[in-house]
Amino acid sequence: MKQLKLKWLLLGSLLTSTGTSFMWPLTTVYMHDYLHQSLSLAGIVLLLESLVMIGGSYIGGYIFDHLQIHFWLQLAISLSVISLLLLIFLNGWPAYPILLIINALGGAIANTIVNSLATLIVEKDSRYVFNMLYFMANIGVVLGTMLVGIVVKYNIRLIFVITFIMFVFFWLIAKFYYQVPARAKSSSTSAGDSNKQLTKTSRRHFWLIMGLLLAYLAIQLGYSQWQSNLSIYMQGLGISLTKYSYLWTLNGILIVILQPILNFFENHYHIDQFYKVLLGFILFILAFISLIFAKDYLHFIFSMIWVTIGEVITFPTISALAAQLSSTAEKGKYQGSVSIAASLGHAFGPLLGGIIIEQTSYECLFSVMAILVITTTVICTAIKFMLFNSK
């Protein structure tokens, strides 16, 4: 059987990310303007979608660790393919949200399995693998969000058609190029590992992963404010929705520029991954603090630059560290945990933000987000030095 190749994982990531980016910008608009549903109902659908993705991430991790990977991966992708095919013809109410949620379940399972498969790549270092997966996913986001505005002018149904086609290609790639023999997981482990390490992640590694995930969750709670409540805040300051959307264009462009630069430094210099992710945490803290004082567009651009640099450094490194610290038998479990932390942040971040804004102010929201990241960063750093620097 052929060895799993990184290029096929990258192509799969590009296809799914581009396809998904055709769908998510339109969800709220489609439900409100086309299906004539309330914004609160659209918010409930998005919350349910995030919760289903949390479940899908757990299932995907379990599959990778305990079941036949190839069969279940194809089944998960098939779930997305079938739901997208039905969406072409059944996109009214309530078929649209039901099929959207089914697609989210299949996509979350498949995404976690693919991220777990990335831990089996032997041709490249895990840091490079996850950096490149993140890079290709963001290329997909840039392409998807850029093209969706063009396609929707012709016929909104084309969005579902194009996404369906992309997931069909992803299914074909998974069928022919994601076949991994059962022994691959054990063979990827270094010769010095004990039998215990093969089956169970060490206690100190477990606690460090938990510390990293806690900080990652706090960051995602804050990051979700950029995707939800911040647009309303900026409009209240007289900054148009168009200018808000330009910030995400800037985000995508910066990621595409910065990721190859980061890869260059990773390949030529030894960079401690923990201190790298710690730098990312600090940049997010600075970004959230800067929002407290942002009252004009230039300041929001400044904050977005800090957020993007932090994102490029932090997000792929969390996955790489989870892969490095977890035992061979629990790779799927901890890659699933990374996805769950992100989904939890996206599910409850807008709701938490809305409650804080209604009770206090936007400035208080940004302060709370900064304090959350500061607190969890301190906890994570304390775990690292207590468990790994003490003899």
d(CA 18, CA 228): 21
Lowest mean pLDDT among 77-91, 244-258, 303-317: 244-258
At 185 the pLDDT is 52
Q: pLDDT digits over 172-186, tens only? A: 999 998 877 554 554
State mean pLDDT over 290-306.
94
pLDDT exceeding 70 applies to what percent of the chain? Answer: 93
Give the orientation angle of helix 39-66 with respect to helix 95-117, to 10 degrees: 30
Q: What pLDDT does 197 receive?
A: 46
CATH code of the domain made up of 196-388:
1.20.1250.20
| Euclidean distance between CA atoms 89 and 91, whole angstroms | 6
> Would you identify the CATH topology of the domain 6-181?
Growth Hormone; Chain: A; (1.20.1250)
Looking at residue 183, its pLDDT comes to 47
Once rounded to an integer, what is the mean pLDDT over residues 262-272? 81
- The answer to whether domain 6-181 and domain 196-388 are alike in fold is yes
Domain boundaries, the chain: 6-181, 196-388
pTM of the model: 0.79
pLDDT for 150 equals 78
Q: At what angle do helices 229-236 and 362-388 cross, to 10 degrees?
A: 140
Q: Output the pLDDT for position 206.
A: 93
pLDDT, mean over the chain: 86
Judge whether residue 187 has pLDDT over 80.
no
